[in-house]
Each structure stands twice: as structure tokens, then as C-alpha cells.
Structure 1
Amino acid sequence: MQHDDRASSGYWYGSAQPSAAPARPSSPAPWRGHDHGEPAVQVLNALRDYRTAEAAMRRRSRDAMGMGEKDMLALRYLLEADRAGSPLTPGDLARRLGISTASTTTLLDRLTRSGHVRRAPHPTDRRALVVLPTADTDGEVRSTLGSMHERMLDVARSLDPVQAETVTAFLTAMAEQVAAPLDPPHPDVHATPARAAGRAGGKQKRSTAPQSAAAD
């Protein structure tokens, strides 16, 4: 039997020291998820398990449709924009995907050859083009992901309005924290001699650079 070390260490970065003993609930909660101590850690572990399951689902979806991650993400953006009545230009798609215009052109050429997208004249700008998903693409995505999306909606619809508001606020706040820049790394007190020497060498190079410039 595989041991789950989260039971002793909490979340993957380690559990925080408790500031006070938690109050005993007046009645048992209907669902506790992973019983790993602190409720906040239980929530984060459940969220991590969801992310792991979602990543596996995305891999299965890509395999089923025979395309890469960027291709699937591009189709998602294009389908959303098409349903909203605001088709995307290749430049719009490049910014959404965070890739270069050249890479976007290659991606669109690939999706055009496979019959998933088509280029069309921009409705208001004659100099521009928009990218549209084909009807076959919409049907393929629905057949691949439709039943899974319905099951997810069933779970979400099982929440009452107060629960839904709480979950939405929590996930929104978590998304904001995950999107925030990382803190700068702290000095590693357990650095190996080789790592410490490497850092010292880097600092020495930076400190001597102005002297060399002055000498020149």
C-alpha cells in the first residue's frame, strides 16, 4: 500500500505551525475531503487533486483529437470568441497564446490543413483577417468534451447560491494569488559548497565589471 506523505507534511510545501487549537465543530461537516489535519490544507490538497485530474483529462482530450496543447488552447479561444460574436485576428490569438506571430502562423496553417479552422475577411477591416473554427470543429469538441462538461455542470449546480458564491470568491482569490509574481528566492542556508562557490563567483564577476570598464 502506497503511503500518502501528505498526512504528515500537509500541503507540498509543508504545514504551517498552528497558532491555536481549532474549535470543535458543533456538528460533523457533510464532507471533509482528505483528512490531513488543518482545514486549509485539506482545501489546498483537494484543489491540487482537481488540477491533477484536469491535467490528465486535457492530455486525454489532446490524444483523442490528435493535437498538441497549444492547438487545443487555440481552438478553445476561437470557439469562445466565435460564440461571443467577436472573432479573433491572428494577432489577437498570438497575444492570447503568448507566442510569436510566426509561431501563430505555423499553428494556424496546421489547423487549417486539418480542417479545424479557416481564415476569413475581417468584417470591418478589409486589410485584416479573422480566424474562425469550422462547424466540424465545434461538433468534434462537443463529442469529445461534452459529456464531461455536463458532469461538471451537474456538480456545480448541486451547490446552493451561498455555496456557489463562496466557491466562486475562493477560486477567484486563488487565481489572483497564483497569477501574482513569485517572491525573490531567499538565500539558501543549506547550499552545497559547489553552489555557494558558483554564487560567489557570480557576485565577484558582477562586482569587478565596473572596475574593468573604468580601467578601459
Structure 2
Amino acid sequence: MPEGKSRSVQDELVDLVQMLVAEGQRIAHVFAQRHGVHGTDIEALVRILVAGERGQPLTAGQLAAELGLTTGSVTTLLDRLERAGHVRRERDPADRRRVILRYGEPGRELAGQFFGPLGVHHRSATGDFTPTELEVVRRYLAATIEAFGSYRTELTREPGT
């Protein structure tokens, strides 16, 4: 950047989000290695957990789309997670043709080992923020996640469509 030219707060936020994403990936990688699971397994478990907590459990097809994997690859991933007891496949009571994904107890324990300490660190880092500041951060992160999702959708489209 030329001398004397200042960066905007938005530019700094982009840099910080990139660093946050990279740090999160490093944490997930170290955690996955330590617990003998694949990095994609951790990402799948996080998505299944969050969807379930929101009351909108995922199907295997939805998980495949979220992870950018083929349905065959997700089936292999889910078979591995199910054998380890991390997830269960259940018939959707509203539509018996659909199979939804739920956490198994070992998966819940693994998530607790991952998110418990991370939550402690995060709450410590944000403890001095006011409720108003936290609401602004929440809105910012929600908008950022939406922007990332839009970009991912663009990337997955066939060129020229």
C-alpha cells in the first residue's frame, strides 16, 4: 500500500475475518489429528450439531451440499461417523422417506471437548463487550456468513451459467 494511504475499517475487517477462518481451520485440524478423525468429519459434525440445535436437522443430501461433496462421498463419511457412534441416521417423523442426521452420544462428547474450551476462550475474549456491541458483532458475523455462502454458491456454479 502506498505510503500515507490508510486502509478502511472494512478492509481491516476482511483481513480479520480471513485470519479468523484460517485460525478456525488450524484449530479443527489439530483437534481432528488429536482425536483420530478427518477434518471433514469435524466440519460435518459441526454442521449437524448447529442444524440440530436450530431445530432444522440435516439430511445426507443437505450435508453433501453444505460440504461440497458428492452424495457417495457423504455416504462414506456418514458410514464412518456412524460406526464411531458420532451420528445416527433417523427417519424423519414428518416424512418417512427422508433420513435426518442426529448426533450420537460419542459425537456429542467429541463436540463438547472441541467447543467447551473454545467457548471458554471466546467468552473471556468478549466479556468486556456491551450487549449493544455484541449485537453489532452478531449482525456483522451473520452478514459475513451470508456473504461467504453467496460466494460459495457462485464458485460452485458451472462457468457461464
What TM-score range do you get, normalising by the shorter chain? Answer: 0.7 to 0.9
Q: Rg larger in 1 or in 2?
A: 1
Q: Deviations over 1:37-93 (max 9, x none)?
A: 757466555544434432221211111222222211111111122223332221121
Q: Deviations over 1:111-157 (max 9, x none)?
A: 11222112222212222222211012111210233112122023223
Residue type of the alignment partner of 1:69:
G
| Aligned partner (choices 85, 107, 118) of residue 115 of structure 1 | 85
| Aligned partner (choices 87, 99, 104) of residue 134 of structure 1 | 104
Residue type of the alignment partner of 2:103:
P
Match of 1:90 in 2: 60
5+ residue gaps, structure 2: 156-161
5+ residue gaps, structure 1: 1-8, 10-14, 19-36, 183-216
| Aligned partner (choices 117, 121, 126) of residue 147 of structure 1 | 117
CA contact (8 A) 2:44 2:67 kept: yes
Matched residue SS, 2:95: coil
Q: Indicate how the Cα distance of structure 1 residues 16 and 76 shifts in structure 2: closer, same or farther if over 3 A, else same.
A: farther
Cα distance in structure 2, aligned partners of 1:167 and 1:177: 15
Higher helix share: 2
Q: Deviations over 1:174-208 (max 9, x none)?
A: 556655469xxxxxxxxxxxxxxxxxxxxxxxxxx
Q: Number of matched residues?
A: 151
Match of 1:64 in 2: 34
CA contact (8 A) 2:85 2:105 kept: no
Q: How far off its partner does 1:168 sit?
A: 3.8
> What percentage of aligned pairs have identical amino acids?
28
Return the structure number with greater relative CO, CA threshold 8 A, min gap 6.
Answer: 2
TM-score scaled by length of structure 1: 0.57
Cα distance in structure 1, aligned partners of 2:133 and 2:4: 29
Matched residue SS, 1:159: coil
Higher strand share: 2
